[in-house]
A and B are shown apart, each in its own frame.
Chain A
Amino acid sequence: EVQLLESGGGLVQPGGSLRLSCAASGFTFNSYAMSWVRQAPGKGLEWVSVISGTFGSTHYADSVKGRFTISRDNSRNTLYLQMNSLRVEDTALYYCAKISGYSSGYQNHWGQGTLVTVSS
């Protein structure tokens, strides 16, 4: 059974940094791309970033490009999202999601999310 467990969320001031983690199990981690999707309170889903399997090519939404960095540690079956220069508008529930393919595809498994609140 695929399991994704996010952690690392919390309250941070504008301009601050936070690193999210997603521990994965139940599948061959390095064979699949992984992604982050966020949802602001009461709003819809926003795709944030994706990283491919072994070689780790990355893509970002324009809203986070240059501030967020996605990475993975295939030896630890863990996905990360380093978030710098955080803004109030980054406040959201951040979901880790497994992608259906090695480099791209749809999100076929989701974690329960970790809440990031950016506020002074």
Chain B
Amino acid sequence: EIVLTQSPGTLSLSPGERATLSCRASQSISSSYLAWYQQKPGQAPRLLIYGASSRATGLPDRFSGSGSGTDFTLTISRLEPEDFAVYYCQQYGTSPGTFGQGTKLEIK
């Protein structure tokens, strides 16, 4: 089973700042089968990024994904108030499709 480790656990930033979230895998993820999801309190997760860097339909371009192999990054270039949430990475190249433990992005 591939283990995903996200860092930091909590990120405290202000609107307008840049957020950088990390996801590290215990082994190489095939074909960059890495996705990012956003979850707000009381809501289901929402797909943001797939294939490590492809944005989901309708996602603002302030969100971007990068990385390959074992190291992946989600960047939010200029935080908007609605971006404060919990973010999860997931690898879907190998069953089981494991999730990281999440990064909570909170308002500073």
Contact = CB atoms under 8 A, between A and B. Distances in A.
A107 B96 contact: no
A109 B37 CA distance: 11
Nearest to B93: A104
Interface residues of B, number: 22
Interface of B: 1, 33, 35, 37, 39, 44-47, 50, 56, 88, 90, 92, 95-102
Nearest to A93: B44
Most buried by A among B44, B90, B95: B44
A79 to B, nearest CB: 15
10 contacts: A45-B37, A45-B39, A47-B99, A61-B96, A100-B50, A104-B92, A104-B95, A107-B45, A109-B47, A110-B45
Interface string A42-70: 00111100100000000111100000000
A44 B4 CA distance: 12
Given A44-B88, A107-B45, A59 B50 contact: no
